[in-house]
Every structure is written in structure tokens, then in C-alpha cells.
Amino acid sequence: MFSGLRQELRLTQQLVMTPQLQQAIKLLQLCQLELLDAINQEMEENPVLEDAPGEVSAEGGGDSGPITTPVEPSVLKPVTVEETARSDIDWSNYLGEYNTPGSIYFEAEQREVPEYENFVARRESLNEHLMWQLLLSLPGRREERIGSAIIGNLNRDGYLRATVDEIATLAEADTSEVENLLTKMQSFDPQGVCARDLRECLLIQVRQLGLQDSIVVQIIRDHLKHLENKNYKAISRALGVSLDDVLSAVEIITRLEPKPGREFSDEEPQYISPDVFVYKVGDEFVIVLNEDGMPKLRISSFYKEALSSKGANSGLRYG
């Protein structure tokens, strides 16, 4: 068998992942906020990149517009008043009316004055709101100490993250006292506050709505897992009621608040900026990229001049 070197031509296709292609694939997967963070990080690491300043108009003091010389103001002509006072005015009666002693009342102009009591320096926290309600109930020193311990162990959603025994140890009280005061504080505003879990939070709100004898309580107490999975037929079979009754009860439950302390949260909302805008122009839809706040990158003029001067100096020849 003959074996040796031979030359042949083959035509194949393959994808070459160049650095430019890898970078493009990486950037195309980013949303606008992530892309902005990536650009800012690249500008910090790469000194050659810089943000191109926006166009400065001539009115803003920039040098892009032509310089105009101020025009000398024209000579103003004196203003002459040709109108004369009417001769049929009784000036003595006019002066006598306004020289009379006493207070003169002027009708105030009706303006929309803002209600300054609506302006507050900061939002009230959940702990402050509950402590205000606790003090309104005129508690004794012992109850105030227990209530303060309960309020201090609430998370930002309004749930109690400590057991009754821990609260009793912290407040140096009996567990029965803590249970009684906890039941009392669970009727405070917002509804469902001071609950120990989601089931108790929903049951508190249902009880305050006066629905403690309905199938809503049974669904929350015994079939919360089926409710989370939207297995309404299983709930209907277990309770022996119609599916319509279950759906009506579910509609009530969905209107309850699972996080009572949410309205007292001091977190600022995080708004999502869209990557593109879609406008309907006539019978067509136009897609416009959202470039709001996106920097315009360019190569730094300092490094560009440095590279140019280096290239010019490298071309010199010494004899």
C-alpha cells in the first residue's frame, strides 16, 4: 500500500469568533441600563475613549457659531402723552371718599393656594405608625414595653419575625400577655399587620371584612397550596361547593394585601427604561431606538495627537 504526502483542496464553512464578533454578541444581549453601565466601565478602564460633548449653540457661549457684534441701540424718541384728563370728573368727591378714616377692605383675588399641610418632610415609617396607634390605646408601662418589642421585630412587610417566647423574654413578660397584646395589635392599620405568616395575614384581613363564616376562611386555612397552584377544581371537590363559588372566593382573596407594610416602604421605585419605542404613523409602525442618556463615544484627541506626532517623528532620518 502506497502512503505518502499528497495535496488536495477542500471547501468548508466555519464560524470564526473574532474579538469584534464576540463583543457584538455580548453587547446585543444587554438592555439599555446594562449597556450604559458597560460603557461607563469601559470608559473608566480605557483612557483612549471619551464622551463626545453635545453640540453647543452660539447662544450658550460655544465657539461653533459665528461671532456677532452687538448692534448699537437706536435713539429712543421721547414719549409724549397726548391724552388729557376728563373734565366731568368730580375730583373733590373722589379725594374725599378715599381720605375718610377707617379700614378699607379689598376683595382678595381668588387664587388656588396649595394646602401646606399636605407637604411633609419625610414619609412616616411603619414602626412610627404602629407606635402612634399603640400609644392612642393608652397602654400601661408593661404593655408599652411589650408592644415596643413586637414593633421592633417586624420586617418591612409588616410580618413578625420573632416568636412569642422570644418577645416575652425580651419584654420580661408572660407569653399570655404577649399573645393578648399581639391579638390587639393585629387589628391595627394597615390590615394584616403583625401576622406571623401569610396564612395568618390573610385570615386577619378576612376577619376584619366580616367574612369569617364564609368559604374564604376555609380556602385560606386548609387549601392555600391549591390556591397558589390555581387548582380550583381540587378545592371545589374538597369543600363540596360549586366551582363558581370557589372562583368568587378566590376573587376576594386576590384583593387582599399579602404585604401590609408595603405602603410604608421608603424604597424608591426603579423605573425600567425601554430599549425601543414603537410609534404608529399612519398605517405603519415605526421603531425608534431609545438613546436617551447614552454617551457618544470617540477617541480622545490627546491620544490621537500623540499617535500622530509619534508617527511623524518616526519618519525622520538622520544623516
Cell readout for 312 is: 511623524
Q: Is residue 198 part of a domain?
A: yes
* Higher pLDDT among residues 279 and 294, named by residue: 279
Amino acid at position 9, single letter: L
Question: Is pLDDT above 90 for 217?
Answer: yes
Q: Is residue 43 part of a domain?
A: no
Question: Is pLDDT above 50 for 225?
Answer: yes
Q: Is residue 240 part of a domain?
A: yes
Residue 297 three-state SS: strand
Residue 50 three-state SS: strand
Query: Under a CB-based contact definition with an 8 Å cutoff, are residues 202 and 220 in contact?
Result: yes
* Higher pLDDT among residues 124 and 117, named by residue: 124
Cell readout for 105 is: 377692605
Q: Is residue 159 part of a domain?
A: yes
CA atoms of 216 and 318, how far apart (whole Å): 97
Question: Is pLDDT above 60 for 98?
Answer: no
Q: Is residue 92 part of a domain?
A: no
pLDDT digits (tens, 9 = 90+) for 252-288: 999 999 999 988 887 777 777 788 889 999 899 999 8
Q: Is residue 21 part of a domain?
A: no
Query: Under a CB-based contact definition with an 8 Å cutoff, are residues 182 and 162 in contact?
Result: no
Q: Is residue 157 part of a domain?
A: yes
- Domain with 171, as residue range(s), is 126-263
* Mean pLDDT value across residues 311-315: 61
Residues ≥6 apart with Cβ < 8 Å to 245: 215, 236
* Mean pLDDT value across residues 42-47: 87
**What is the percent of the chain with per-residue pLDDT over 70, rounded to a whole number?**
74
Q: What is the pLDDT of residue 87?
A: 65
Measured in Å, how far apart are the chain's first and last C-alpha atoms?
66
Q: Is residue 136 part of a domain?
A: yes
The number of folded domains in the chain is 1
Q: What is the pLDDT of residue 218?
A: 94
